[in-house]
């Protein structure tokens, strides 16, 4: 049996899962090197055909495709040729790539996302070097952590890459609006990773730290798209390391309206002021904002978390992030493009031997409660006037989660990794998928609200309530 045949069968089965759950939209990423293995030139017909098959299958089952154009995979040829997003040369290659996608798929795809989480691509790729291309200042030490990179500059390269990504995004929006919008009638925007920040203490300094944290996260990307320049706090604190937009570039950024902003929300942190010192020299760009981020105030977390998980559950942060975007950016339409929680599967073989991998995880109570509480917050935000257009769970399937590999399970559908010789990787819907199916079918009239931490300025536990459907 050929691998391509297996992939095609799995594609159909996975899209059927989407339809069976009752989801009306599906977000996926297109791989640049899968379309153009050399970054440009002759497209790979097999790769082009794969996405046609996926899109056609989604539409056939009544599911709207949402396509992400770039999810961190720079063609190696362009990385080797000129350093990828460290060079402005990539803007022209990105323009050619997006133009091909719009022409090839735009009659069927009506929602386009230019970049997924540029801030995380920058942090992991050029700040601490944990992901490709693995750049950081050689022998970088941050607290107890040591990072080994052959090359990089953790206080300069991140801003260069972010600048070039913003200009590439603006060029993509311009191309779509001027060349394809009239005929295709779609939308285009960008997706950010967002962490909500609460002041560590109820004092002016920590409240200012909260504002700076939001500036250096969401403002870094969205302010240039809406106002033509970076936040003033970034200009003041980063100084000459922060690139300058020319007048023409500022006009490019703002002249073609983004149709929406996508946000990926998982968790929240406290922001604590760090004293300003004129002699301070940052080791990594994340220190430029002069705030520290903490999961705990004293011994009490901002929200509960599974053992070893970075996700402290704080649903109220989603509403606050949405309200912040509404107030700062003229209530631009927003899609929650990712929201979900992981569960770590440690010592997998011991769990298999105990017979619980395919039983307890499939009940999926923790994830179900997470989704219930966050969907309720989205409903609250909509009632408060936030222009929310859609909500996507991350993720449909358990997947290979970057440096966590297969140990971090985000899916509402379980993947059986226990038999590596089984090419089917058997899919089994978890309890969260069953709940979501009933929710979308309007078969759940009320649902107990999970008891979670609802913080600020003091920490208290939320009272049980109901989700109104």
Beta strands (DSSP E) in 291-426 are 291-294, 296-297, 300-301, 334-339, 343-344, 388-391, 408-409, 413-415
Active-site hit among 57, 338, 369, 377? 338
The separation between CA 468 and the C-alpha centre of its own chain, rounded to angstroms, equals 27
b or e along 8-38 (b: 16 or more beta carbons within 10 Å of the residue's beta carbon)? eeeeeebbebbbebebeebbebbbbbbbbbe
* Residue 338 appears among annotated catalytic residues: yes
Strand pairing category for 145-147 and 187-199? unpaired
Contacts of 221 (CB under 8 A, 6+ apart): 118, 119, 162, 166, 190, 192
Distance CA 193, CA 186 (A): 23
Distance CA 395, CA 411 (A): 5
Nearest to 336 by CA among 261, 440, 436: 261
Return the CA Rg of the chain. Answer: 22
Distance CA 98, CA 88 (A): 16
Nearest to 343 by CA among 314, 306, 312, 380: 306
For 210, other C-beta atoms within 10 Å of its C-beta total: 21
| Helices (runs of H) and strands (runs of E) counted in the chain | 17, 18
* Residue 249 appears among annotated catalytic residues: no
Active-site hit among 117, 171, 187, 369? 117
Structure tokens at 263: 């946000």
Distance CA 118, CA 275 (A): 28
Strand pairing category for 296-297 and 300-301? antiparallel
Contact 425, 434 (CB under 8 A): no
In DSSP notation, 34-99 reads HH-TTSSSS--HHHHHHHHHHHHHHHHTT-EEEEES-SS---HHHHHHH-GGGSTHHHHHHHHHHH
Distance CA 23, CA 412 (A): 12
Active centre residues (catalytic): 117, 338
């Amino acid at each position: 049996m050929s691998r391509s045949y297996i992939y095609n069968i799995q594609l159909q089965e996975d899209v059927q899962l989407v339809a069976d759950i009752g989801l009306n939209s599906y977000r996926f990423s297109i791989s640049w090197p899968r379309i153009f293995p050399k970054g440009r030139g002759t497209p790979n017909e097999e790769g082009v055909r794969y996405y046609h098959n996926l899109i056609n299958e989604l539409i056939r089952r009544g599911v709207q495709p949402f396509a992400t154009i770039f999810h961190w995979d720079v063609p190696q040829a362009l990385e080797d040729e000129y350093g990828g997003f460290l060079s402005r040369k990539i803007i022209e290659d990105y323009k050619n790539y997006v133009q091909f996608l719009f022409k090839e798929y735009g009659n069927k795809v009506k929602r386009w996302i230019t970049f997924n989480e540029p801030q995380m691509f920058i942090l992991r790729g050029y700040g601490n070097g944990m992901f490709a291309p693995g750049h950081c200042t050689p022998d970088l030490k941050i607290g107890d952590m040591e990072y080994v990179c052959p090359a990089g500059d953790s206080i300069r390269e991140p801003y260069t890459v972010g600048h070039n990504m913003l200009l590439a995004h603006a060029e993509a929006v311009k191309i779509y609006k001027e060349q394809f919008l009239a005929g295709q009638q779609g939308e285009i925007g960008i997706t950010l990773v967002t962490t909500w920040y609460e002041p560590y203490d109820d004092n002016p300094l920590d409240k200012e730290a909260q504002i700076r944290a939001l500036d250096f996260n969401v403002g870094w990307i969205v302010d240039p798209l809406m106002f033509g320049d970076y936040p003033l706090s970034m200009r003041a604190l980063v100084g000459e390391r922060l690139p300058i937009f020319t007048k023409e570039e500022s006009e490019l950024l703002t002249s073609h309206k983004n149709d929406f902003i996508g946000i990926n929300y998982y968790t929240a942190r406290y922001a604590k002021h760090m004293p300003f010192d004129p002699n301070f020299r940052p080791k990594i760009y994340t220190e430029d904002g002069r705030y520290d981020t903490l999961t705990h105030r004293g011994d009490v977390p901002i929200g509960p978390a599974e053992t070893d998980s970075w996700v402290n559950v704080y649903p109220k942060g989603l509403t606050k992030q949405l309200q912040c975007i509404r107030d700062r950016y003229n209530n631009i339409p927003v899609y929650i493009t990712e929201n979900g929680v992981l569960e770590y599967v440690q010592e997998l073989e011991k769990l298999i031997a105990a017979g619980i991998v395919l039983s307890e995880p499939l009940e999926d109570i923790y994830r179900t409660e997470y989704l219930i509480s966050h969907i309720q917050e989205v409903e609250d935000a909509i009632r408060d006037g936030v222009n929310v257009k859609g909500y996507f769970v991350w993720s449909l399937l358990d997947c290979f989660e970057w440096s966590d590999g297969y140990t971090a399970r985000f899916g509402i559908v379980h993947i059986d990794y226990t038999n590596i010789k089984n090419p089917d990787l058997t899919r089994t819907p978890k309890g969260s998928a069953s709940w979501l199916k009933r929710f979308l079918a309007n078969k759940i009239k009320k649902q107990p609200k999970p008891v979670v931490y609802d913080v600020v300025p003091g920490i208290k536990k939320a009272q049980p309530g109901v989700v109104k459907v």
